[in-house]
Structure 1
Amino acid sequence: MNKTPIIRPTEKDLRKILNEKILIMDGAMGTMIQQKKLVESDFRGDLFKNHESELKGNNDLLSITRPDVIKNIHRSYFEAGSDLVETNTFSSTSIAMADYHMEGIVHDLNVASAKLAREAADETMSAHPSRKCFVAGAIGPTNRTASLSPDVNDPSLRNVTFDELVESYYQQILGLVEGGVDILMPETTFDTLNLKAAIFAIENFFDTSGKRLPVILSITITDASGRTLSGQTTEACLNSIAHAKPLGVGLNCALGADAMRPYLQALSKNSDCFVHCYPNAGLPNPLAPTGYDEKPEDTAGSLFTFADEGLLNMAGGCCGTTPEHIHAISEKLSQAAPRDVSSTDPALRLSGLEDFTLKGESKSLIMVGERTNVTGSPRFRKLIESEDYEAALKVAKQQVENGANIIDVNFDAALLDGEACMTKFLNLVVSEPDISRVPIMIDSSKWSVIEAGLKVIQGKCIINSISLKEGTEAFKEQANLALRYGAAVVVMAFDEEGQAATLGDKVRICERAYKILVDEVGFPPHDIIFDPNVLTLATGMDEHNAYGVDFIEAVREIKKRCPHARTSGGISNVSFSFRGNNHVREAMHACFLYNA
Structure 2
Amino acid sequence: MMNHPYIQLIEKKIPVIFDGAFGTQIQKSNISVEKFLTAPGCNEILNITCPEKISAIHTEYLKAGANVIETNSFGGSRVKLGEFGLQEKVYEINKASAVNARNAIESYKVDRPMFVCGSMGPTGYLPSSKDPNLIGADFNELADIFEEQAKGLYDGGVDLYLIETSQDLLEVRAAIVGIRRMLKKEGAFRPIQVQITIDSNGRMLLGSGIESFLGAVIALNPSVVGFNCGMGPLEMLPTIEKLLKISPIPVSALPNAGMPRNIDGKAVYSMEPQKFAEALLPLVTESGLEVVGGCCGTKPDHIAALSSILKGKTVAERTGTGKKSCWVATGIGGIDLETVKRPVIIGERLNTQGSKKTKELVLAQNYDELLQIAQEQIDTDSSLLDICVAVSEKDNEKDTMKNIVSYLSDRSETPFCIDSTEPSVMQSALWINPGSVMLNSINLEHKGERARKILELACNFGCPVVALTIDDAGMAKTLDRKMELTRKLRDLACGEFGLPEHYLYIDPLVFTLATGEAESADAALVSLDALRCIKSVLPGIRTVMGVSNVSFGLKPKARRILNNLMLHHAVEAGLDAAIFNPIHLDDIQKYDKTLRNIAEDLLFNRKADALMEYVKYFESAELESTVKQKSSEELPVEKRLYNAIIKRDRRNLAGMIETVMQHESATDILNKILLPAMGEVGNMMSRGDIILPFVLQAAEVMKEAVSILEPHLKTENSTTKGKFVLATVYGDVHDIGKNLVGSILRNQGFEVIDLGKQVPVDAIIEAVKKAKPAAVGLSALLVTTSKQMALCVEEFDKQNISVPVIIGGAAVNKEYASIISTVNGKKYSGGVFYAKDAFDATRILDTINSSENITPADSSAKHSTEFKEKECKSAESLEYGPHIEPPFWGTSEILVWDAAAIINGLNLDRLFKAGWGGGNLNERDYAHAKETQFEPAFERLRNEIIEQELIDLRGFYGLFPVITDDDQLIMIDPSDFHTEIANFRFPRMEKSGGRSIADYFKADGDIIGVQAVTIGRKLSDRCREYFHKEDRYSNGFFLNALGNFIVENLAEKITTEIRRAMGISADIGRRYSFGYPGLPSLEEQRKLFDIMGVEDRLDIVLTSGFQMEPEHSTMGIFVHHPSAEYLI
TM-score greater than 0.5 by the shorter chain: yes
Q: Do the aligned residues in 1 keep the contact of 2:476 with 2:509 (CA within 8 Å)?
A: yes
Contact 1:24 1:330 in 2 (8 A): yes
What is the count of residue pairs matched by the alignment? 564
Which residue in 2 is equivalent to 1:300? 277
One-letter amino acid of the structure 2 residue matched with residue 554 of structure 1:
A
Which of 503, 508, 512 is matched with 2:479 structurally?
503
Q: CA deviation at 1:441?
A: 0.6
User: What's the CA shift string for 1:96-121, capped at 9, x where partnerless?
Assistant: 33333332111111111111111111
Q: Which has the higher contact order (CA 8 A, sep 6+)?
A: 1
1:27 counterpart residue number: 20
Alpha-carbon spacing, 1:73–1:122, altered in 2? closer, same or farther (3 Å): same
Deviation of 1:235 (Å): 3.5
**Cα distance between partner residues in 2 of 1:227 and 1:459:** 15
Q: Which residue of 2 aligns with 1:158?
A: 135
> Alignment partner for residue 448 of structure 1, among 420, 424, 444?
424
Q: Which residue of 2 aligns with 1:5?
A: none
Q: Relative to structure 1, is the Cα distance of residues 368 and 524 closer, same or farther in structure 2, using a 3 angstrom cutoff?
A: same
Match of residue 588, structure 1, among 559, 562, 575: 562
Asked if 1:387 is matched to 2:332, the reply is: no
The correspondence for 1:354, drawn from 303, 317, 333, is 333
Residue pair 1:18, 1:338 contacting (<8 A) in 2 also: no
1:246 aligns to what SS in structure 2?
coil
Q: Aligned equivalents of 2:215 and 2:281: distance in 1? A: 27
Q: 2:129 aligns with which of 148, 155, 179?
A: 148
Pairwise CA distance, 1:227 = 2.1
Is 1:91 equivalent to 2:75 in the alignment? yes
Q: 2:156 aligns with which of 179, 182, 197?
A: 179
Structure 2 CA distance for aligned equivalents of residues 558 and 522 of structure 1? 19
Q: Do 1:243 and 1:484's aligned partners in 2 also have CA atoms closer than 8 Å?
A: no
Letter in 2 for 1:323: P
Deviations 1:224-276 (A, max 9, x none): 22122233332332233223433322221112111222332233333444332
Match of 1:333 in 2: 310
Structure 1 residue 377 displacement after superposition: 2.0
**Cα separation, partners in 2 of 1:14 and 1:576, compared to 1, 3 Å:** closer
Greater shift in the superposed pair: 422-431 or 282-291? 282-291
1:419 matches 2:395? no
Task: Output aligned runs, 1:457-476, within 5 Å.
Answer: 457-472=433-448, 474-476=450-452
CA–CA distance in 2 between the matches of 1:62 and 1:271? 37
> How far apart are the structure 1 equivalents of 2:377 and 2:248?
34
- Larger CA deviation: 290-299 vs 324-333: 290-299
CA offsets 1:483-520 (integer angstroms, 9 cap, x no match): 11011111111123221122221222112212332233
* Matched-pair contact (CA < 8 Å) for 1:240–1:486: no
Three-state SS of the structure 2 residue aligned to 1:493 is strand
Give the Cα–Cα distance (whole angstroms) in 2 for the partners of residues 367 and 303 of structure 1: 40
**C-alpha contact (below 8 Å) 2:287/2:318 kept by paired residues:** no
Q: 2: distance between equivalents of 1:398 and 1:30? A: 50
Rate the CA distance shift 1:149–1:68 in 2: closer, same or farther, 3 A. farther
Identity between Structure 1 and Structure 2 (%)? 31
- Aligned residue in 1 for 2:454: 478
Equivalent of residue 251 in structure 1, options 218, 221, 227 = 227
Partner deviation per Cα, 1:429-481 (whole Å, 9 max, x = no partner): 1232xx2x111111111110011101111222100111222324653443232
Residues 545 and 14 of structure 1: is their aligned pair in 2 closer, same or farther, counting only changes over 3 Å? closer
- CA distance, structure 2, for counterparts of residue 518 and residue 151 of structure 1: 39
Indicate conservation of the 8 Å contact 1:43/1:66, yes or no: no
- Describe the shift of the 1:11–1:365 C-alpha distance in structure 2 as closer, same or farther (beyond 3 A): closer
Q: Is the 8 A contact 1:423 1:456 kept in 2?
A: yes
With over 3 angstroms needed to count, the CA separation of the structure-2 counterparts of 1:273 and 1:390, relative to structure 1, is: closer
Change (3 A) 1:150 1:36: farther
Aligned to 2:217: 241
**More deviation, 467-476/115-124:** 467-476
User: Take 2:306 and 2:59, find their aligned partners in 1: how far apart are those partners?
Assistant: 17
Between the aligned partners of 1:236 and 1:270, the Cα distance in structure 2 is 12
**2:47 and 2:54 in contact (8 A); partners too:** yes
Check 1:538–1:18 CA distance in 2 against 1; reply closer, same or farther (3 A cut): closer
- Which amino acid is the alignment partner of residue 187 of structure 1? E
Please tell me the residue identity of whatever aligns with 2:177: F
Cross-structure match for 1:404: 382
Which stretches of structure 1, 4 residues or more, deviate above 6 A after TM superposition? none
1:575 aligns with 2:551: yes
**Aligned equivalent of 2:536, options 538, 560, 571:** 560
Q: Output the CA distance in 2 between the equivalents of 1:472 and 1:431.
A: 34
For 1:417, give the aligned amino acid: N
For the aligned residues, what is the CA RMSD? Answer: 2.4
CA contact (8 A) 2:398 2:424 kept: yes
Return closer, same or farther for 1:473/1:582 CA change in 2, 3 Å cut-off.
closer
For the structure 1 residues 11 and 548, does the alpha-carbon distance in structure 2 shift closer, same or farther, using more than 3 Å as the test? closer
Please tell me the residue identity of whatever aligns with 1:225: N
* 1:544 pairs with 2:539: no
- CA distance 1:395–1:38, shift in 2 (3 Å): farther
CA–CA separation in structure 1 for the residues paired with 2:131 and 2:23: 26
The SS at the match of 2:72 is: coil
Q: Residues 281 and 295 of structure 1 are in contact (CA less than 8 Å); yes or no, is this contact kept in structure 2?
A: yes
State the distance in 2 between where 1:359 and 1:348 align.
6
Q: 1:27, 1:317 within 8 Å by CA — same for their partners in 2?
A: yes
Question: Is the 1:190–1:228 contact (alpha carbons within 8 Å) kept by the matching residues of 2?
Answer: yes
* TM-score, length-scaled by structure 1: 0.89
> Which of 94, 97, 113 in structure 2 is aligned with 1:132?
113
Deviations 1:408-448 (A, max 9, x none): 1112123041111111111111232xx2x111111111110
In structure 2, the residue matched to 1:202 is: 179
The one-letter code sitting in structure 2 at the alignment partner of 1:29 is F
Distance in structure 1 (CA, Å) of the matches to 2:526 and 2:447: 25
The TM-score normalised by the length of structure 2 is: 0.48
Q: Which residue of 2 aligns with 1:122?
A: 106
Alpha-carbon distance in structure 1 between the residues aligned to 2:193 and 2:548:
45
Instruction: Give the superposition deviation at 1:546.
Output: 1.2
